[in-house]
Chains A and B, each alone.
Chain A
Amino acid sequence: MSLRYGARSIRPRRNLYAPACFNPSQAPSIARSWQRWSSVAESPASERVLFPGALKSKFTNDLAFIRPAELEAIPTYRVMNQDGVVIDETRDLGTTDEEALTLYRKMICLSVMDLIMFEAQRQGRLSFYMVSTGEEGITIGSSSALDPSDVVFAQYREAGVLMERGFTLDQFMNQFFSNCKDFGKGRNMPVHFGSRELNVHTISSTLATQIPHSSGAAYALKMQAKLNPDLPGRIACCYFGEGAASEGDFHGALNIAATRACPVIFLCRNNGFAISTPTSDQYRGDGVASRGAGYGIDTIRVDGNDIFAVRQAIKEARREALADGGKPILVEAMAYRIGHHSTSDDSFAYRQKVEVEDWKRRDNPITRLRKWLEGRGLWDEAKEKELRSKVRKEILVAFDKAEKEKKPALKHAFSDVWENFTEEQKSQMEELRSVLERYPEEYDIEQYEGGLDSLKEDLKQ
């Protein structure tokens, strides 16, 4: 609301334009939003002055600063302890045995894929990779609690979300090898996935830029549900790390999501490090969760190594995000980044190997769920061995297949920049073709689908 112009009287609504998309039910809210506060002070004896910027604030005679360091830290919600024992047996777990087994298999598949791809990068067979080790519980757990129609915006350590949603091993490998079957047409670095079918927007390397996108997308979903009440409610879910939460886009996104009441879950993976930077150099407040209240956003902190806790928190967050016309929710999932930041990083340059080993052994989402499954008699060493070997084989088959595929056609260096090729692009493609034709020995064109022909053919996208 603009107070500068608050004194404006409300104009009688004009009915000159009454289009189909004009919603008459909104008239009262328009009027309300333009009304001026009735007065500055209600009465001389009032305990509150209605400063427009903080209507509920009472006066105090104590000169007291609020000291965040003295406040109790926001607690971390968990369902089972490190030994996979459910703490309150009387409460519904929210996950059946069958679901738990499925989640466990997906976490194993992701961790085996991480091992193989990390190694393949070390052998120079792909350019780059990022593992999810230690955060499988957050991505796979949260994804399983969303509806498949919910829209996902991810940072880059969320391969688990795609895997849970049904991105196939072939699709993963096509992306890693930038081959002609990659949805991104070989344009993006490895692990920058996207899928229209699975409602996952394509990942970009720029940190936090996706956070305001999720606010806008959530607003779009809310408006679409209003226009068509038969549609079931959908939300947006946005993933980011605690480092990305220091970017201005985090601030812009949470603020606009709150003021526009957008049905969105902001899911922060707080894994303790942003490349080499520990959280003590990242922020001095109580993590990322403590910021939610400042934006007027309902917030929860959850144990990211406890997949049941993650699922419960996200299910409830989703329900709340859709209630009463929509609102944003902030979830901070705590974890430890067990792997290196990426294949371009050696994390032992800034943290002790023993610390990492300790986390690996002491607590991680996979072993914790395994302990729970074993406690229920649903899992054992033989099943573990069999699953790992089966998954490994499947991944290697997909790996070989994808590695052998051709690269995307050369024209895709130019296509999709705009909806259609521009005249400038057409002349540049012609120029490139001419160079390739005259210097054939300087380029390896044959590995690109269609060779030179793709620059010659009728240039329709």
Chain B
Amino acid sequence: MRALSRLLRLRNTSSTSRPSRCRHIRQYSSAVATARLNNSVDYSTTPLLNHTSQQCLSNPELPEHIRKSKTKRINLFQSVNEAMREALMTDERVLVFGEDVQFGGVFRCSLNLAEDFGTERVFNTPLSEQGLVGFAIGAASEGMRPIAEIQFADYVYPAFDQLINECSKVRYRAGSTGMHCGGVVVRMPTGGVGHGALYHSQSPESLFTHVPGLRVVIPRSPVQAKGLLLAAVACNDPVIFMEPKILYRAAVEQVPVDGYTLPLDKAEILKSGSDLTIISYGTPLYTCNAAIEAAEKDLGCSVELIDLRTIYPWDRETVLKSVKKTGRAIVVHESMTNAGVGAEVAATIQEGAFLSLEAPVKRVAGWACHTGLIFEKFIIPDVTRVYDAIKKTLDY
């Protein structure tokens, strides 16, 4: 089961970094020759990534001293690695563990950490998700800052009881004793990867956004991953940190070399617009961006794109302000529509921006089915579906 991951990585690389080959060799995530909208995302030119050091350092969310510092070009797994390295270096309470973490992790996120910080701080656990998450809660309850890894978000369910009945409730039930397990960060690769089928492509974030006491974070890029992961480690609330695994190698950008944090309660407006707001997070942001580029060209509209970043508690203010301005909204995510994050966002918009709405809030999300291997590209929202949603919402 876990051995699959190496396979996933290899395929992921070939289909994303060399899109030109797709026409000659049949790839799982290749584009159709006639496609105008559904082309592979070109991560080397997307405006969602910082291709120059200057772009990266102009980010006003970065602390002043970071904005004057150096950057380097790394991908998402390397930025997760950098964040954990920084956390291990600056805080002796930090532990990093999970299944196959010691040799570097099946996605290379913990590469070289065991060698540099010792196997007492970076180590393998037995193959038991409930065991290792329970272990993390106990260690945090006694003052450590554990970063636990679930190898795939699809395998988090054995630890569900520990996360929902324990992790999220420790502070509340402890009351004035002040005991808590803040400091727990549970990392997990999430989302579709083109050929992950039923158990290597799930996006279970909405199962956690229904739980008070947890924070759910999904970064879209290396810069975000590093800053948000370091903020998660520093945060005194337990954090579920979901890393879009298709971006591990695909998303490459300039990232500050030093450690920095990004806010855990703020959405980010990636592109401003005046006719429609698209709210999304993680991988679909790239899909949305491609759809917006095509729609703006074809339809002459102006679309605002918002990255939620923190899925719960989430930044309602930024979203409502945007929808009040544009009057139209679409929510996009990979997991299925019913009771997904989109349901919460759409309901909140309906409550908070009712008088501004000029069209129903549209949800573009996974269908009510499992991710059958050969059907993935029909199930996970693609550029065409987002493009069509923009068109329909504007035409309403």
Q: Which residues of A contact B (CB under 8 A)?
A: 1-2, 4-5, 8, 11, 13-14, 17, 19-23, 26, 29-30, 33-34, 151, 153, 182-185, 187-188, 192, 194-196, 201-202, 204, 206, 209, 211-221, 223-224, 226-227, 236, 248-249, 251-253, 255-256, 259-260, 412, 416-419, 422-424
Contacts and interface: CB of A to CB of B under 8 A. Distances in A.
Given A216-B141, A227-B92, A192 B173 contact: yes
Interface in B36-59: none
Interface string B112-137: 10111111110111101011111111
24 contacts: A21-B89, A21-B117, A23-B118, A29-B118, A29-B119, A151-B142, A195-B177, A202-B175, A204-B169, A204-B173, A213-B138, A216-B137, A219-B135, A219-B144, A220-B140, A220-B143, A248-B128, A255-B126, A256-B126, A418-B171, A419-B235, A419-B237, A422-B265, A423-B317
Contacts of B95: 219, 223
Given A212-B130, A252-B130, A259-B126, A219 B179 contact: no
Contacts of A422: 265, 313
A202 B158 CA distance: 23
Contact of A187 (B89, B158, B173, B236): B173
B177 A30 contact: no
Contact of B174 (A11, A19, A184, A211): A184
Interface string B66-94: 00000000000000000001001111100
A419 B171 CA distance: 8
B325 interface: no
A217 B346 CA distance: 41
A4 to B, nearest CB: 7
Given A216-B136, A249-B131, A183 B175 contact: yes
Contacts of A236: 138, 142
Nearest to B142: A220
Interface in B326-349: none
B282 interface: no
Nearest to B170: A202
B149 interface: no
Contacts of B317: 423
A149 to B, nearest CB: 12
Given A151-B142, A212-B131, A215-B138, A2 B100 contact: yes
Q: Which of B115, B119, B178 has the most CB of A within 10 A?
A: B115
Contact of B138 (A212, A227, A259): A212
Contacts of B132: 212, 252, 256
A321 to B, nearest CB: 15
A211 B134 contact: yes
Contacts of B196: none
Q: Which of B126, B138, B237 has the most CB of A within 10 A?
A: B138
A255 B166 contact: no
B381 interface: no
Interface size class of B (residues with CB under 8 A): 35 or more
Interface in B162-199: 162, 165-166, 169-180, 182
Contacts of B114: 30
B161 A213 contact: no
B256 interface: no
Contacts of B142: 151, 216-217, 220-221, 224, 236
Contacts of A13: 115-116
B316 interface: yes
B223 to A, nearest CB: 21
A196 B179 contact: yes
B134 A216 contact: yes
A307 B128 CA distance: 36
Contacts of B173: 184, 187-188, 192, 194, 202, 204
Contact of A11 (B112, B130, B135): B112
Interface in B252-293: 265
Given A202-B177, A209-B166, A226-B120, A419 B236 contact: yes
Contacts of B139: 216-217, 219-220
Contacts, number: 220
B138 A19 contact: no
Contact of A22 (B116, B123, B141, B170): B116
A418 B237 contact: yes
B102 interface: yes
Nearest to B213: A417
B219 interface: no
B63 interface: no
A185 B117 CA distance: 41
A194 B174 contact: yes
Nearest to A197: B177
B172 A256 contact: no
A166 to B, nearest CB: 14
A2 B151 CA distance: 14
Contacts of A224: 142-143
Contact of A259 (B85, B90, B103, B125): B125
Nearest to B97: A260
Given A14-B112, A206-B161, A418-B213, A215 B134 contact: yes
A22 B134 CA distance: 26
Given A30-B119, A182-B175, A184-B174, A212 B162 contact: yes
B213 A248 contact: no
A357 B131 CA distance: 40
B213 to A, nearest CB: 5
A2 B98 CA distance: 12
B204 interface: no
Nearest to A31: B115
A223 B144 contact: yes
Given A195-B177, A213-B134, A2 B166 contact: no
A255 B177 contact: no
Contacts of A192: 173
Contacts of A151: 142
Contacts of A214: 138
Contacts of A248: 128, 130, 158
B10 interface: no
Given A2-B100, A19-B117, 7 more contacts: A153-B138, A183-B176, A202-B177, A213-B141, A216-B137, A224-B143, A252-B132
B25 interface: no
A22 B117 contact: yes
B313 to A, nearest CB: 4
Contacts of B177: 183-184, 194-196, 202
Contact of B134 (A17, A252, A412): A252
Nearest to A23: B118
B118 A209 contact: no
A20 B103 CA distance: 23
Nearest to A188: B173
Contacts of B118: 22-23, 26, 29-30
A255 B133 CA distance: 13
B227 interface: no
B145 to A, nearest CB: 10
Contact of B171 (A195, A221, A417): A417
B138 A34 contact: no
Contacts of B316: 423-424
A220 B142 CA distance: 6
A19 B180 CA distance: 28
Contacts of A184: 173-177
A34 B313 contact: no
A23 B134 contact: no
Contacts of B235: 419
